[in-house]
Amino acid sequence: MDLLNTGFNYPKSEKNLPEVPDTYLKDFILILVRRTYMGITKKFLNMFKSGKSEEEGERVHEEAQVSTQKVRYDNFLTALSEGDLDTRWSAVRSVGDLGEPFIEPLIRGLKDDYWIIRRGSADTLGKIGAPAVGPLIEALHEPGDDVRQEILRALQLIGEPSVGALLQGMKHSHPFVRSGSVQALGIMGEKRAVPQLIESLKDTDARVRYESAVALGRIGDPRTIGPLIETLNDAKEQVRMAAMATLCSLGETSIEPLIRALIDPNEDICRRATLALVTIGEPSVDALIKALIDQNPGIRKGSVEVLGQIGNTRAIPPIMKALDDPERSVRIEVVKALASLGVPAIAPLMQVFREGNFMMKTSAMEALWMLGQPATTPLIMVLKDDQSDVRKRAALLLGEIGDQKAVDHLTSLLNDENIAVRREAFEALEMIKKRNA
C-alpha cells in the first residue's frame, strides 16, 4: 500500500454511498471544525444581536469549543480505528498535538499488524510525553516482543518524565511489567536505577533477573561488580551468561574482583570467574601475573590457570618461577599452563630441565612430556650433555613421547659410560618400538 498517499477514505455505509474525493486528513478535519465553529459562532452573534446576556454568550462560546474538540476527536478516532493503512498512518502522525484523548487509541496502535503503524504510534506517544507514561507502562503486560519494543521506544523518547514511573514499575506485581521497566531504564542508561537494578538481580522471575544484568551492562556502574559475581551462580544459564557478559564489558574495573572470585566457596562461581577473565583476555594479564605471588594458594593456582588459557607468552617467565611453588596443586597448574602455552615455553623449560632444583626439574619434565613431539628435538640435543642425570632424564622423556625421530640418537646412547643412562636408553627404545608397532 502506498504510504505516501495520505488521503482519507470514508468508511462505506450499508447503502454504499459514493466515496468522497481524496484530500489530506488534516485539511478535511479542519473543514469540519471550521463549519461547526462557524455555525456556533453565528448562533452566538444572533444571540448578541437579540440582547442575550454576556453570561449566556460565554456559555455558548464554551459549547463551541467543546463541540469543536468533539468533532476533532470523533473524526481522528474514526481514522485511527476504521481507516485503511494510509488513513491510519496519517491519523497517527497527526494526533500528537491533540494530546491525552488519543493515548488509548495510540496504545492500541502499538499492536497493529503493520510495523509502520506500531512505530508511528510509539513516536506519537513519545511526542505526547508524560501523560502517556502510565498507560505505556501498563501496556508492558503485552507478551509480544514486537509490541514491547515499540513501548520501550516511546518511553525512551519521553525520557526523564518516565523515570519515576519506571522505577515504580520495577515493583509491579506482573513480571512482564517489571522486566519491561528494567529494560527501559537500561536502554536509557539511568544511573539512578542502579540500586534497584542490583536488587532485581534476585527477582523471583528469571526474565527480570536477565534484563537486570543486561541493563547494568548498559549503564556500566562499577558498584554492580560484586552483585554480578554473585549472579554467576544463578539457577538459569541465560542469567549467568548475561552477568558474565556484563562483567566482561566492565573491563579492567572487574578484573581484581574476578581474581578474588577464583577462591569463592562456590565452584560454579570460580569456574565462571575464570571464564570471564579469559574472555577479558589481554587487559587482565598484568593483574594475573601479580597474583602469582599472592599469599593465598587458591589465587595463585587460579591465576596460573587463567594465564595458560589466555595464552599470552609474556606470562611464561613469571609462570616458570612458580615451578617450585610450595603447593603441589599450584605446581600442577603451572605445568598445565606451560604446556598449553606451547612451543614458546620449550626453551625456558629446557633450561630448568638442565639447571633447576629437583622440584623444578621434575615439573619441567612433566610439562615437556605434555608438549609431546615439539619437545623431541631439544631433548635429543641434550643426550650428549656432560651431566649423566640430564642424559638419563632426556632418554626417559623421549621414550614417553615416542617419536621415531629419536631412535638413532637413543641407539648411540646404548654405549654410554653410565649404566643408568644405558638402561634408560634401552627402555626408551623398547617403548618407541611398542608404540609404533
- Give the 3-state secondary structure of residue 129: coil
Q: Are residues 358 and 378 in the same domain?
A: no
- Whether 160 is covered by a domain: the verdict is no
Per-residue pLDDT of the chain (437 residues; tens, 9 = 90+): 344 333 334 333 333 433 434 444 445 444 444 444 444 445 544 544 555 555 665 655 555 554 555 555 666 666 666 656 776 777 666 666 666 777 888 888 888 787 888 888 888 888 888 888 898 988 888 778 888 888 888 899 999 999 999 999 999 999 999 999 999 999 999 999 999 999 999 999 999 999 999 999 999 999 999 999 999 999 999 999 999 999 999 988 999 999 999 999 999 899 999 999 999 999 999 999 999 999 999 999 999 999 999 999 999 999 999 998 999 999 999 999 999 999 999 999 999 998 888 889 989 999 999 999 999 999 999 999 999 999 999 999 999 999 999 999 999 999 999 999 999 999 999 999 988 87
Cα–Cα nearest to 363, from 321, 312, 399: 321
- Whether 336 is covered by a domain: the verdict is yes
Paired residues of 7 in beta bridges: 24
Q: Are residues 424 and 396 in the same domain?
A: yes
- Whether 131 is covered by a domain: the verdict is no
User: Among the three residues 310, 345, 366, which one is the final residue of a domain in this structure?
Assistant: 366
Q: Are residues 290 and 336 in the same domain?
A: yes
Q: Are residues 361 and 390 in the same domain?
A: no
Q: Is 129 left (phi over 0), alpha (psi -120 to 50) or beta?
A: left
pLDDT digits (tens, 9 = 90+) for 64-89: 554 555 555 666 666 666 656 776 77
Q: Which amino acid is at 232?
A: L
- Whether 311 is covered by a domain: the verdict is yes
User: Among the three residues 346, 366, 386, which one is the final residue of a domain in this structure?
Assistant: 366
Q: What is the DSSP string of 162-229?
A: GHHHHHHHTT-SSHHHHHHHHHHHHHTT-GGGHHHHHHHTT-SSHHHHHHHHHHHHHHT-GGGHHHHH
Domain of 313?
281-366
CA angle 126, 127, 131 (to 5 degrees): 75
- Whether 303 is covered by a domain: the verdict is yes
Cα–Cα nearest to 162, from 198, 197, 125: 125
Q: How far is C-alpha 315 from the geometric centre of its chain's CA atoms?
A: 29
User: Among the three residues 366, 386, 415, which one is the final residue of a domain in this structure?
Assistant: 366
Rounded to 5 degrees, φ, ψ at 7 are -65, 150
Q: How far is C-alpha 186 from the geometric centre of its chain's CA atoms?
A: 11
- Whether 140 is covered by a domain: the verdict is no
* Contact (Cβ atoms closer than 8 angstroms) between residue 337 and residue 345: no
Cα–Cα nearest to 349, from 414, 392, 397: 397
Terminal C-alpha separation, the chain? 77
For residue 334, give the CATH number of its domain: 1.25.10.10
Residues 216, 223: Cα–Cα separation, whole Å:
10
Q: Is 311 left (phi over 0), alpha (psi -120 to 50) or beta?
A: left
327 is written with which cell numbers? 603447593
DSSP 8-class letter at 281 = -
* Contact (Cβ atoms closer than 8 angstroms) between residue 405 and residue 378: no
- Whether 37 is covered by a domain: the verdict is no
Please tell me the total count of domains within the chain. Answer: 2
* Contact (Cβ atoms closer than 8 angstroms) between residue 300 and residue 294: yes
CA-to-CA separations, 352 to 263, 291, 344, in angstroms, rounded: 30, 22, 14
Q: Are residues 376 and 349 in the same domain?
A: no
Residues 233, 273: Cα–Cα separation, whole Å:
10
- Whether 246 is covered by a domain: the verdict is no
99 is written with which cell numbers? 494530546
